[in-house]
Chains A and B, each alone.
Chain A
Amino acid sequence: MFNKLSIRFKLVVLLGASAAIALLISSALTLYSTYVTEKAEALRGLKQLGEVSSENLRAALAFRDAGSAQRILSPLHANPQIVAAFIEDEEGQAFSCYFAPGLSEEKCEQTRQAARATLGAVQKRNNGVELATFRHLYVMQPIMFEGTPIGTLSIVSDTSAIRVKLTRYIKSQLMISVGTMVILILISIPLEELFTRPIFALLTAMREVSRTKNYAVNVQLTRQDEFMDLCQGFNTMLAEIRERDEKLSTLATTDALTGLANRRHALEKMEEMLARARRKHEPLGVIMLDVDFFKHINDTLGHPVGDTVLREIARALSGSAREYDLVARIGGEEFLILCDNADQETTRAVAERIRARFEDSVIDYGDAQQVRVTVSLGVCSEVPYELTVEQLLKAADAALYQAKESGRNRVEMGRVL
């Protein structure tokens, strides 16, 4: 259930729960402390009363004047908490007693017996005894005469005043707690935004990236805390993905030796150019180039020289082609040049320019060593209403074959049949 909650509600719940636990612990400790303090205070007051009363009762007990003792005890009714007071002589015989007004005889006897039972166990061990139970406080004070105990005064007080005070405290604490909780929840709503805003910003960016595959997204935060680190980490991760994608894309579309487009990429681009030409009713020029006697170069000068030759041809083709043309290496020593919006004449002119460039130059390799290379080119240019890539390539390839057959170092035009 909790796991299904939004982080926003989780934060509010956590703040509320933390506050509630803190309030509960604080209230419980304060309540306990108040109870202990109140009980100690009440016992202290009762003990003082016992000391004063026992002093006043000394003469009455010394001269066995129960009436006077009764008279001395009677003001105890001013304290409604005092339930009973008993005087016993040195032999433990009842001498005089006081009971709170309205207390039934049965209740009086019960209280007396309870007090005797409670205090009796410790009476002999101590000169004065004070005990507290949940409902009653007991104080037993010896009545001394000339340093000798001649009897005891026991006072029993109920704890209703303490309990009433504690009940009142609990009620007020409950009201304060409820009020505090409401205020905390109201405060926690804007507070949770401090935490959730950066999280939701990242979440939104992540969803955007997932939907659009656009890794150029950049999340901006003005924070200086861990959220800033998280945001920077997210942006760095996106940048690394972007860089990796670019590398993968380059690897997938580029010929490693020459840096030109590879065959697969060239065919994909050719599909796009064909579709555009078809849409615009423009011609698409296709030039296929093959290096003459390349096998002989490889065999006699070695593959490194062959690679050098291929790289130089690629550089020369890139320099000779128009800016918007595509140059690709589609085989060992075969190259493809796609000329956008180029009719037969233009395409042938481009092809001728390429052929002438190689015819008039040499390629350097090694230490001041040179090799002369010529190329054969097959050209095809059509407005490709219903033509396919394969048809155009086949036509250009056929023209290339014808150029090879006709003695190489030539440009031949082909047509789609």
Chain B
Amino acid sequence: MRRLFFALLLVLISTPHLHASDMERRLEAVFLGRFANYIELPDRSRSRFVITLIDDNPFGGMLDQIYKDKTIHGKPIEIRTTTRVREIGKTDILFITLSTTAARQEAIDYAQRNGIVTISEARGFAERGGIIQLNFVGQKTQIKINYAAAQKSGIRIGAPLLSIATVLRGGES
């Protein structure tokens, strides 16, 4: 019984906050595209700009609705979902909702090798090598960027985005 309680507690601690309001969720959906505008990805010859959600899709059909007929860097947007890291494939942004730290780390490592921008709400995501950690605290948005991780992935982040974010410049990758 005590084991089960601690197991549940551990799950609760490590699980990302998925209690965001609809408004926050909508903002988050919009922010995914807006981040892309301040990010310069490694040169790729793709015809589409791909946003992949790994594990849960907290947005439902919101992303399709928002990005329908929209473009990023002049490319039409494609929304994908997957549950496994090996199925991520070729993508530009990876939104991670994986519940365990180990699973997220695997996804982060995959993304770093493939020059993919990783975004997550999970606490400690940026410190563990994720590029953008996005949280809503009260009515405020908090953005944390791991600049060193971005550089390691060959990704350049624009100064305006850095100017409003908490930037981690080294050590944590």
Contact = CB atoms under 8 A, between A and B. Distances in A.
Interface of A: 56, 58-60, 62-68, 72, 145-146
A52 B67 CA distance: 29
Contacts, number: 36
B143 A63 contact: yes
Contacts of A72: 163
Chain B interface mostly: helix
Interface string B31-60: 100100110000000000000000000000
Nearest to B162: A59
B31 A63 contact: yes
Given A64-B27, A146-B37, A59 B160 contact: yes
Contacts of A67: 140
Given A63-B31, A64-B141, A146-B37, 20 more contacts: A56-B163, A58-B160, A59-B38, A59-B161, A59-B163, A59-B164, A60-B164, A62-B34, A63-B143, A63-B161, A64-B27, A65-B140, A65-B141, A66-B140, A67-B140, A68-B163, A68-B164, A72-B163, A145-B34, A145-B37
A296 to B, nearest CB: 145
A63 B37 contact: no
Contacts of A59: 38, 158, 160-161, 163-164
B140 to A, nearest CB: 6
Given A145-B34, A145-B37, A146-B37, A63 B140 contact: no
A65 B34 contact: no
Contacts of B160: 56, 58-59
Interface string B7-19: 0000000000000
A99 to B, nearest CB: 20
Nearest to A66: B140
A56 B159 CA distance: 10
A59 B143 CA distance: 11
Contacts of B34: 62-63, 145
Contacts of B140: 64-67
6 contacts: A56-B160, A59-B163, A63-B141, A63-B164, A64-B141, A67-B140
A260 B27 CA distance: 134
A305 B29 CA distance: 146
Nearest to B71: A146
Nearest to A62: B34
A66 B138 CA distance: 12
A96 to B, nearest CB: 11
A64 B164 CA distance: 10
A71 to B, nearest CB: 8
Interface string B158-173: 1011011000000000
A67 B165 CA distance: 11
Contacts of A63: 31, 34, 141, 143, 161, 164
Interface in B125-171: 139-141, 143, 158, 160-161, 163-164
Contacts of B37: 62, 145-146
Nearest to B136: A64
Contacts of B158: 59
A145 B72 CA distance: 12
A146 B71 CA distance: 10
B35 to A, nearest CB: 8
Nearest to A72: B163
Contacts of A62: 31, 34, 37
Nearest to A55: B160
A65 B140 CA distance: 6
Q: 10 tightest A-B contacts by CB?
A: A59-B160, A68-B164, A65-B164, A64-B141, A62-B34, A60-B164, A59-B164, A65-B141, A63-B141, A59-B161
B150 to A, nearest CB: 16
Q: Which of A59, A67, A68 has the most CB of B within 10 A?
A: A59
A390 to B, nearest CB: 134
Contacts of B27: 64
A294 to B, nearest CB: 139
A190 B31 CA distance: 84
A86 B140 CA distance: 18
A64 B38 CA distance: 15
A153 to B, nearest CB: 15
A190 B107 CA distance: 101
Contacts of A60: 163-164
A216 B31 CA distance: 111
Contacts of A65: 140-141, 143, 164
A59 B159 CA distance: 9
Nearest to B158: A59
A336 B37 CA distance: 138
A114 to B, nearest CB: 27
